[in-house]
Amino acid sequence: MGRFLRKIIIAGGLLATGASLFFPSISHAAGDNTLSSSNPAPSEVVSVAPTQLQLVFVNAFTNPKDIEQMGISLVCNGNIVNLGAAQLGADIKTVSTPLTQVPSAGTCTVSWALPDGSSGAYNFTSAIALPTTSTSSIPGGETPITVVPGTESTVSNSSWPRVGGPLGLFRTLSYVLIGTLFGSFALILLAWPEGVEYQVCKRFLRITWIFAALVTFAVLVFTTAQITGKGVTSSLSPNAWRELAESLPGWGILLRCIFVGVVGLVAWNPERILDPGTQAISVASLILMCSVFGLNRTGGRIEVLGHVNAGVHMLAVSMWFGGLVLLVRVVLIGSGDSDLVQAVRGFSRLAPRAIAVVVFTGIVSTYRYDGFALLSNAHGRILLLKIAVVGFMTYAMFTSRFFIGSRLARASTLEMRPAAHLRRAVGSQAAAGVVVLGLTAWMMSTTPIYFDTKPASGGPVYASVQDLRNDRFHVRFSVSPATVGPNQVLIELFEPQRIQEFTIRMTPKADGYDGYLIRVPLTRRGAALLGANGEFPLKAPGDWTIEINGTSTTGDLAPLAATLTIGDPATTTTVASSSTLPGATTSSSAPVAPVAPVTTVTTTTTTPLAPAG
């Protein structure tokens, strides 16, 4: 097992090395080109938002196409400012690039690098006064925007510990090790009962369980840190784990820790899997340990069926992958008696059935989460890659099965030469299986098309819920009670995964009333609550236009728009109707309860607009 883990680590290093070839850092011989002037100029104090950066170089560009490889960045007060495409002036010395957002107040650093190796940087000061809240239009002073926790993948607070990288690694190892345990015991139970008599098999199962237990505990701790916002050290306390019980994925992690602990009794004494007195509880603990992976994600079409389908999918994948690993690490390490031949033959009979279940449940999951629109989102694109790897494993499996049928059909013992040949073939399948499980863990950090958060209950039911989306932007905007007077607004961001500017403009169509410009304090997927205690005032009855704008790390997003109808308390409340800008889609959803707010409050940047008309 130790060698197998070392191979995984080496493979990870090779992947990292390969990634460095695709994303190389700029490292050129130093060039001699420098700036002769710039706008804004070095040390300049800018009080009006610039529309572009302008860099004038001493030496002209020898190749105008070098502008396409030039790097320019602008960082103000620690925040990256998005820039448009650079343009080269007629003098072949002046480079201009537009700013797509207003820079934050503070010190701004402009950095540039040319393909010839020339580079440099300078600072200027931004004294741009961004709009602030005018309390005259909001009774009682400023209305707070509360950042609220969502599911494990939608939590958003920049001050919380960044545990996404380690958590992704531990998730992958959890899939690999737990899948290995289940598949190994499945092969022993169904095709190779003699395996429990081999010391090498016992040692393999025990070491695998030890690592599985450690990794599962690490997933528990790092998930707790991600959800609660506490440090990893604080998340070691069982008291911190109670917050996991507030969501179904959290329950899945807690249950998995329990079942992994129970499976340890079987791993330490593998004979329990065959003993009639302990077989039932041993098999049940193994199945439950693996099937609770089906609770990892909520939402999607036909959610109850989805949990069952995901659990069965993981069981089938584990039976296939774990059997492969047991063959590579134990059965095919050398020549042996007829029971080794029976183990290989038994796996060749089980693998096609497991593959059939994997394919069927995979199709169901694809329909539930992506609707087969696999190129429109990151979740679908990763799934396409996973399908390709599974296809390779399937082809390799049928090739190995043909070899087994032709070379071992009448063999009474396992000889060294066919064992070595088959071990190489099975080993390539097992390595591909590690990639498949790694991609599965990666998919957990992305949001599919038909994903829907399940907010905690206990808050008011929203009278108006509008789900607005286009290819890159997905926001849910909920208002309650959607009548004239104090209201509460829940803003939920599903796509993109990261956002730099996020604003919502609310404008009443009635003359003489103020509108609002809401600057939503989210930088990642998550939710924000405006008027947590229902103190956000909407004074104008009738239709309001809602325009939602955002800027991601790749540029401006196509805006979303809708019409919100605010009722008069003296009349019947009208549920909002919605419309969108060209290219956007919207759908009404059933009323939902808001996510329970946390104590962390971000001061509002809600700006009242001038009265309409």
**What per-residue confidence (pLDDT) applies to 449?**
67
User: What is the per-residue pLDDT for 3?
Assistant: 54
What confidence score (pLDDT) does residue 157 get? 39
pLDDT of residue 375: 77
> What local confidence, expressed as pLDDT, does residue 132 receive?
36
Calpha distance 383→366 (Å, rounded) = 8
3-state secondary structure of 166: helix
Q: Which two tokens stand for residue 456?
A: 């905690």
| pLDDT at position 337 | 79
CA atoms within 13 A on the CB side of 548: 27
The whole-number mean pLDDT for each consecutive block of 10 residues of the chain, a chain of 613 residues, reads 49 43 36 85 85 88 81 84 82 86 84 85 80 33 48 36 77 93 94 91 95 94 79 84 83 93 94 93 94 81 82 92 91 80 86 91 86 74 89 85 70 77 86 89 76 46 83 87 86 84 87 80 80 78 90 84 83 40 35 30 35 31
pLDDT at position 144 is 54
- 8 A C-beta contact, residue 57 and residue 71: no
For the whole model, what pTM was predicted?
0.55
* pLDDT of res. 405: 67
The pLDDT of residue 410: 67
Helix (H, G, I), strand (E, B) or coil at 300: coil
DSSP secondary structure code for residue 551 in this structure: E
Length of the chain: 613
CATH assignment of 35-126, given 2.60.40.1180, 1.10.3720.10, 2.60.40.1220, 3.40.30.10? 2.60.40.1220
Per-residue pLDDT at 71: 83
Q: Which two tokens stand for residue 156?
A: 């958003």
- Are 482 and 531 spatial neighbours (Cβ–Cβ below 8 Å)? no
Q: How many CA atoms lie within 13 Å of 86's alpha carbon, on the beta-carbon side? A: 23
- pLDDT reported for residue 79: 79
The topology under which CATH files domain 135-150+455-608 is Immunoglobulin-like (2.60.40)
Measure the N-to-C terminal CA separation of the chain; round to a whole number of Å.
Answer: 74
Query: Do the domains 35-126 and 135-150+455-608 sit in the same CATH topology, yes or no?
Result: yes
Instruction: Quote the Cα angle for 399-405-411, to 5°.
Output: 135
- Residue whose entry in the numeric block shows the structure tokens 């899948």: 179
Q: Which amino acid is at 315?
A: L
Domain boundaries, the chain: 35-126, 135-150+455-608, 164-443
User: Under a CB-based contact definition with an 8 Å cutoff, are residues 41 and 55 in contact?
Assistant: no
For residue 248, give both structure tokens.
């179904």
| pLDDT for the residue 208 | 95
Helix axes 416-443 and 2-22, enclosed angle (nearest 10): 60
Contact 562, 113 (CB under 8 A): no
Looking at this protein, which amino acid is placed at residue 386? Answer: K
- 37 strand-pairing partners: 56
